[in-house]
Amino acid sequence: MHSPQFRLSLVLSTSAFALILAAAPVVPDAHSGWLKSTAALAASASAQSDSHSTAGGSAAGTSSHSEAHGTGAGATGSASGGASAHAEDADGNTADSSVSTGATAAGGTDATTGDDTTDDATADGSTSASFVHAPDTPGSAEAAANLATVGAGASASGSASADVTTDDGSTAHADVAGSSTATGAATGHAFAAGTTDAAADVSSATSSSAAEADVETTTTGGGSMSGAGSATAAGSITSTDGTASASSSASVGVGATSVGDGSASASANIDADSNASTDATTGVATTNSFAEGNAEADNDGSGTSANASGTGNAAAEAGIGANTASSSSSVNPAVTVSTP
């Protein structure tokens, strides 16, 4: 037989449990049938970002990372970052690079189970640009970008460009620009060359020019990327005695764009050369000219496109006494591809 004190304790314990149930919202568990509290669990959020840039000599580079996490209703995390860099030399050759990233994540509650849900977002980006300008490597410029995002609230964008003009007038330009949102990725690379050379002695002259450009873009998911490259080179010269002259020129331009799950690339390469000479002993005048060019473009995926074109010209003249000679050559390739 239970004592009155035990019965009183039991009544008090039952009443306390009833008060607890009344204070907390409950629903029947679909699996066990027992009552289950629907009170929200504690929420938590975190966010972090870092960025970096470097510049100097003939290069500029940037990078950025952002991430955010949120768990439970009312939890929101966000972070953003960015960086830029610029390099320039005494001749006005430049390299520019910039990037930015952002991430936002919001937690929630599962409507069926009442459990906390977690949201994550991460974004990464890096860009770089460089130029080379030296007597033995005239021209050339390079630009690159890599962007990657994961999560509905992730985004990244960036661009890079480089420009070179040499003492003999050749030019080179390269640029890329892109973005990525949600889950996606975008990469791009562009390169351009230039180069020219002309030389002469007493009775002969030679000239050569070469222009080369290349661009590649690749994207997935929410990524987009475009890039371009161009280069020019030209030269002319006359022999010391004025009896022979040679000239040449070359120029190229390429571009590529990719979106979604796709890729695009383009390349061009032009060579142009000429030479002329005279022989005072034999009275012979001789000239030669040569021009060769090619262009290629490829793409894959809806909304992608690519193009490449170029021109090349070469000419030479020579004359001694009544004997004269002249030569000329030219090329002009052009290609384009695109999809709806």
Check pLDDT > 70 for residue 327. Answer: yes
List the structure tokens of 100.
Answer: 């930015």
The average pLDDT across 49-55 equals 97
Average the pLDDT over 22-43 and give the result: 52
Res 330: pLDDT: 98
CA torsion angle for 65, 70, 75, 79 (degrees, to 10)?
0
Average pLDDT over residues 222-234: 97
* More confident of the two residues 135 and 18: 135
- Arithmetic mean of pLDDT over the chain: 89
What is the C-alpha end-to-end distance of the chain, expressed in Å? Answer: 89
Q: Give the tens place of pLDDT for each residue, 238-284.
A: 999 999 999 999 999 999 999 999 999 999 999 999 999 999 999 99
pLDDT, position 24: 45
In angstroms, the CA 73 to CA 109 distance is 6
Per-residue pLDDT at 41: 53
Alpha helices (runs of H) in the chain, residue ranges in sequence order: 4-23
- The whole-number pLDDT of residue 172 equals 96
Using the predicted structure, report yes or no on whether residue 6 has a pLDDT greater than 70: no
pLDDT confidence of residue 21: 41
Q: Binning pLDDT at 50, 70 and 90, where does residue 91 land?
A: confident
Is residue 131 over pLDDT 50? yes
Q: For residue range 164-213, what is the model confidence (pLDDT) as tens digits?
A: 998 888 999 999 999 999 999 999 999 999 999 999 999 999 999 999 99
141 neighbors 128 (Cβ within 8 angstroms):
no
CA nearest 314: which of 211, 173, 169, 168? 211
Please give the pLDDT value at position 203. Answer: 97
Has residue 71 got a pLDDT over 70? yes
Q: Rounded to whole angstroms, how far apart are CA atoms 191 and 130? A: 10
The C-alpha atoms of residue 230 and residue 227 are separated, in whole angstroms, by 11
SS3 call for 23? helix
Domain ranges of the chain: 44-338
What does the alpha-carbon distance between residue 101 and residue 152 come to, in Å, rounded to a whole number?
13
Q: Does the structure show a pLDDT above 80 at 14?
A: no
**Residue written as tokens 């314990």?**
13
Residue 14 backbone class (left: φ over 0; alpha: ψ -120 to 50; beta: rest) = alpha
Q: What is the residue-wise DSSP string for 168-224?
A: TS-EEEEEEEEEEEEEEEEEEEEEE---EEEEE-SSEEEEEEEEEEEEEEEEEEEEE
**What CA–CA distance (Å, rounded) separates 213 from 308?**
9
| pTM (two decimals) | 0.85
Contact (CB, 8 A) for 219 and 263: yes
Q: Would you state the pLDDT for residue 17?
A: 40
The predicted pLDDT at position 3 comes to 52
Strands (E) located in the chain: 26-28, 35-37, 44-56, 59-71, 76-88, 94-106, 108-109, 116-131, 141-150, 154-165, 171-192, 196-200, 204-238, 244-259, 262-279, 284-300, 305-320, 323-331, 334-338
What pLDDT score does 22 carry?
43
Grade residue 132 by pLDDT with cuts at 50, 70 and 90: confident
Residue 136 pLDDT:
57
Rg (CA), the chain: 34
